[in-house]
A and B are shown apart, each in its own frame.
Chain A
Amino acid sequence: MKSFKFLPLILVFILVFSSISAAQTPEITIWCSEKQVDILQKLGEEFKAEYGVSVNVQYVEFGSIKPNFLTAAPQGKGADIIVGAHDWVGELVINGLLEPVPPFEGQETFYSTALDAFSYGGNLYGLPYSMEAIALIYNKEYVEEPPKNMEELINIAKRIDATYKGEVRGFITSAAEFYYAAPFILGSGGYVFKETPEGLDVTDIGLASPGAIKGAELWKRLVDEGILTTGDNYEIMDSLFKEGKAAMIINGPWAVKAYKDAGIDYGVALIPDLEEGLPAKPFVGVQGFMINAKSPNKVLARDFLVNFIATKDTMHKIYLADPRLPSREDVLSLVEDDPDIVGFTQSAANGTPMPNVMEMAAVWGAMNDALNLIINGKASPEDALINAVETIKAQIGK
């Protein structure tokens, strides 16, 4: 009698197992940010009509795409295509999670800066769709003509500070963030990692070179002359400009929509030259589509990328949904009537791609710390930068 009790047990067993081994139908999953969802869904329907393979577009918050991908992809799960930033490439490639994108038709119409940014160890690992770089954004109510060089910027900022007695800031940006100080540090001759034909040489760090120190000294001068203060950070810059209480800021294309919505009459211009003939060099960030190396649908994913997304038409639509500098030259010519885009494009043209090696993670922290010490006067620019390079070397040297 007792043995009968095990019969249902076995039945339930069979049920559980059969549900586990359900068959899979091919499907391409894409993880992207909010603004690309609609376009990709439409493209996905076109793709399905032709290939009979459905495209599943999932909105994942930008900051979660990489961590989720890093967790899911090694298990053979996760999206077939992710939409993200080029500086993820190094880490994902080292992990063996990205599939190289082989050559495709129309590749020559993409900006080489954008393609370079997605290249690692001689292979292309992503299809770029937009570039971004910070530029000078000024409020036309206070500044009629944007400053051409830093000397002019300092004078204008001082005049405004004096006129409005602290109610309106002449110039503000995130003071202790390397990303915002980089145009000056890199512009005067500093570099993060030495560029070599084989890629970036992470053992050659140029952040304590004479050029970098010169750039940091300029940054310190802004603080010493009372133009920047030590508490200035991104949130303060952003909200002051939105409220019309800042005349000039350095910020990126992602921020301008909010300024437009706030009714600010702003202009976008080049970051002023450090001195005559020495342009500022902001980091250029590139966004793009990457293919999961462990995806069972790599061929289809690539086909979707190069035949449906890399086209002029799609690139233009992506631009319209999320106006960032397009990475295709012929798309840029379609949108040249937008003065913001022209301003940011000029800025990006002077810039340098943000290193995509994962050693870059150590650079941010160390350089932010160094800038913090410099603007607070706790260490001279030279000492702080030498220390920062030591820190970076210790961090990446294992």
Chain B
Amino acid sequence: MWLLLIAFNALFIGAGVYLVQNSYYELGAILFIASFLIDLFIINPRAYPYRYTIPALIFLLLLVVYPICFTIKTAFTNYGTGHIFTRQEAVERLLYDPNYTYAESEEAIGFKVFSVFEDSKPTDDFILLFDINGELYLGDVPSPSKQRGKEILLREGKTYKVTSEEVSVDGKVFKLSPFPESLENINMIVSADKEYKSLYALDDPALQKNAYHFIMLVQKYLANAEYLNQDQGKIIGIRVDTDGKWKFFFVERLYRLAYREIEEDGKVSQKMVIVNTRTNEPLIEDKGSFYDIDENGNQVFLIGYTAWVGLENFLRIFTDKRISGPFMNIFVWTIMWSLFSVLLSFLIGLVFALALNNERLRGRNVYRTLLIIPWAVPYFISVLTWKNGILNETYGILNKIILPFLGLDPVKWFNDQYWAKLACIIVNTWLTFPYMMTISLGALQSIPDELYEVAAIDGAGKWQNFRHITFPLLLTVVAPLLISSFAFTFNNFTLIYLLNSGGPPMVGATTPAGHTDILISYVYKLAFEGRGQEFGFASAISVIIFVLVGGISLLNFKISGAFEEIRNE
């Protein structure tokens, strides 16, 4: 028992620490809280009864509390397309990423790579020899200078001028041979205990067989390395030349940090900013984005990060014309849609349940099985069958066979706003009535037979039975489920989107609003079908919808008194 608890704790806290290390702070915190509570419940005798709630508690925290916290947090940020990194990461990109450098001149620097061979295989112990305007320089293995976690952002190497046969690097002596010779002809560098042999040079055909190892060295050490050349006061870096080959160039960073006097609210202060080294102008940082100014004076987006934007997302919901314009239409339809879907499917479900509950009905099991089928078929298959097989305006069974047979005109199931709305409700009713039937059946069977016997003695008819016994007792059980169905239907994005994508479009709307769009599908269009994905904005709306649905449900509970009976028992 104790061992189990300990193992459990270790797992949770270990995972929590791992998550925090990888900056999933919320999830880590949840795990810590969970393990603390569990310990408390098990160790503290007074909390004894709570230990039975532990599994539920874990899932509640992980699957309900955490997503809610995360959504609320995201609602106050601009997290979304172009804003997925942290600010630190964005800044590090600008400062260290080799893509934000430029070659000073198009002329490449001659180089040759030497490496220690073991069993005639090259190793990662290498030395570079540069030829800069006829002068030879030795380059060492660059060492990491900027890191984030395990990721090495930048390496720095040094160059040492070759003035004689022997070059001293940090006290170690390297001997070039043959010497004095040109870069191509030097084929061996010897230090105290090691022999560096020629590994790779651009134009040496004999060394091309080692090109793969050179690429590995570029991957492991050189791609993000900068060699400082003191004599020229310049940086050497490796780049792909226009012919597709890796070569060394004198490079310059495009952005660096600098102190600048920044005027803010009338006060001038020294501030660390990122400066474009070419134009010497600071970058513009606005709402989680860095912008540079190009030659024509246009702002060019460079990189963005997730920034706190406070209430901006919420303000946008109430001030943006795109939302407030069609909002009332959509809101009213959302309410109607949820209400009618739930009531209609409950009504149909109840009728079937009453019929099935009648013990004189033969083959009840067969009927029951058949009636549950719509529920058992995967959701999207049902919806697509309705969409293309039944309701399609040209080829659907309804328009092609049934309506002409009845002598009626074909109906625009998707392109007329009223029929489209009806189509949504019909399909949803088809999909949900088995659920209503099942819960009603269960509830009906829990009504004690004595009540009906008493009623029979009092001479009550069938209708009176239903009106005064069955329905009220049924409702106490079913009402909470109806309300949760309402909340679910309110947000039933899948059906709306699969069936008609919210169409038909509203005539003259300058937003992507359609007549059957419910709040959630409309918001989806706004947040994900415009400029990329705006998770922050979508979260803000989710919070609002949560409040709305919560409010409506609460009201429903109050009015229907759904919980009253349970409390009285």
B145 interface residue, CB < 8 Å from A? no
B523-551 residues at the A interface, CB under 8 angstroms: 525-526, 528-533
Given contacts A51-B212, A102-B244, A298-B223, contact A13 B14 (CB under 8 A): yes
Output the least CB separation between A227 and chain B (Å): 13
Kindly state the separation between the CA atoms of A300 and B219 in the bound complex, as whole angstroms.
Answer: 6
Determine which of B99, B241, B415, B503 lies in contact with A103 in the assembled complex, contact meaning CB atoms within 8 Å.
B241
Given contacts A391-B510, A395-B529, A395-B530, contact A303 B215 (CB under 8 A): yes
Determine which of A20, A51, A105, A231 lies in contact with B244 in the assembled complex, contact meaning CB atoms within 8 Å.
A105
Determine which of A20, A362, A376 lies in contact with B18 in the assembled complex, contact meaning CB atoms within 8 Å.
A20
A359 close to B85 (CB less than 8 A): no
B323-344 residues at the A interface, CB under 8 angstroms: none
Kindly state the separation between the CA atoms of A108 and B288 in the bound complex, as whole angstroms.
Answer: 39
B511 interface residue, CB < 8 Å from A? yes
Number of interface residues of B (CB under 8 A): 66
A299 close to B223 (CB less than 8 A): yes
CB closest chain-A residue, reference B241: A103
A263 interface residue, CB < 8 Å from B? no
Given contacts A17-B14, A94-B532, A299-B219, contact A373 B511 (CB under 8 A): no
Kindly state the separation between the CA atoms of A303 and B212 in the bound complex, as whole angstroms.
Answer: 9
B1-36 residues at the A interface, CB under 8 angstroms: 2-3, 6-7, 9-11, 13-15, 17-18, 22
B531 close to A26 (CB less than 8 A): no
* A residues near B480, Cβ cutoff 8 Å: none
Given contacts A74-B84, A96-B85, contact A26 B219 (CB under 8 A): yes
Determine which of A16, A103, A232, A361 lies in contact with B242 in the assembled complex, contact meaning CB atoms within 8 Å.
A103
B158 interface residue, CB < 8 Å from A? no
Given contacts A51-B215, A229-B394, A369-B503, contact A5 B6 (CB under 8 A): yes
Kindly state the separation between the CA atoms of A342 and B99 in the bound complex, as whole angstroms.
Answer: 40
Kindly state the separation between the CA atoms of A26 and B82 in the bound complex, as whole angstroms.
Answer: 28
B10 close to A9 (CB less than 8 A): yes
Given contacts A94-B301, A365-B512, contact A5 B212 (CB under 8 A): no
B240 interface residue, CB < 8 Å from A? yes
* A residues near B244, Cβ cutoff 8 Å: 102-105, 107, 306
* B residues near A102, Cβ cutoff 8 Å: 239-240, 244
Residues 390-424 of chain B, each 1 if its beta carbon lies under 8 Å from chain A, else 0: 00111110000000000000001011000000000
* A residues near B157, Cβ cutoff 8 Å: none
* A residues near B241, Cβ cutoff 8 Å: 103
Residues 290-310 of chain A, each 1 if its beta carbon lies under 8 Å from chain B, else 0: 000000111110110010000
* A residues near B219, Cβ cutoff 8 Å: 26, 297-300
Residues 9-21 of chain A, each 1 if its beta carbon lies under 8 Å from chain B, else 0: 1001101110010
* B residues near A359, Cβ cutoff 8 Å: 531
Output the least CB separation between B18 and chain A (Å): 5
Given contacts A12-B6, A13-B10, contact A230 B85 (CB under 8 A): no
Kindly state the separation between the CA atoms of A267 and B392 in the bound complex, as whole angstroms.
Answer: 29
Given contacts A299-B215, A362-B529, contact A231 B151 (CB under 8 A): no
* A residues near B9, Cβ cutoff 8 Å: 9
Output the least CB separation between B179 and chain A (Å): 32
Output the least CB separation between B44 and chain A (Å): 15
Given contacts A9-B9, A296-B151, contact A235 B243 (CB under 8 A): no
* B residues near A43, Cβ cutoff 8 Å: none
* B residues near A53, Cβ cutoff 8 Å: 216
Kindly state the separation between the CA atoms of A383 and B239 in the bound complex, as whole angstroms.
Answer: 53
A366 close to B509 (CB less than 8 A): no
A181-239 residues at the B interface, CB under 8 angstroms: 229-233, 235-236
B388 close to A391 (CB less than 8 A): no
B93 close to A96 (CB less than 8 A): yes
B508 interface residue, CB < 8 Å from A? yes
B505 interface residue, CB < 8 Å from A? yes
Output the least CB separation between B305 and chain A (Å): 9
A159 interface residue, CB < 8 Å from B? no
B322 interface residue, CB < 8 Å from A? yes
A379 close to B507 (CB less than 8 A): yes
A100 interface residue, CB < 8 Å from B? yes
A50 close to B212 (CB less than 8 A): yes
A232 close to B394 (CB less than 8 A): yes
B529 close to A103 (CB less than 8 A): no
Kindly state the separation between the CA atoms of A366 and B505 in the bound complex, as whole angstroms.
Answer: 9
B483-520 residues at the A interface, CB under 8 angstroms: 503-505, 507-512, 514
Output the least CB separation between B95 and chain A (Å): 14
* A residues near B533, Cβ cutoff 8 Å: 70
B531 close to A236 (CB less than 8 A): no
* B residues near A9, Cβ cutoff 8 Å: 6, 9-10
Kindly state the separation between the CA atoms of A8 and B303 in the bound complex, as whole angstroms.
Answer: 48
11 other A-B residue contacts (CB within 8 Å) besides A13-B13, A231-B396, A379-B507: A12-B14, A91-B81, A91-B532, A94-B82, A94-B532, A95-B532, A96-B90, A107-B244, A236-B388, A236-B392, A362-B530
The 5 closest A-B CB pairs, nearest first, are: A102-B240, A16-B14, A231-B393, A12-B10, A369-B505
23 of the cross-chain contacts (CB-CB < 8 Å) are: A5-B2, A5-B6, A13-B14, A51-B216, A53-B216, A96-B82, A99-B99, A102-B240, A102-B244, A104-B244, A105-B243, A231-B394, A361-B528, A372-B415, A372-B503, A372-B504, A376-B415, A378-B504, A387-B510, A391-B509, A394-B510, A395-B322, A395-B512
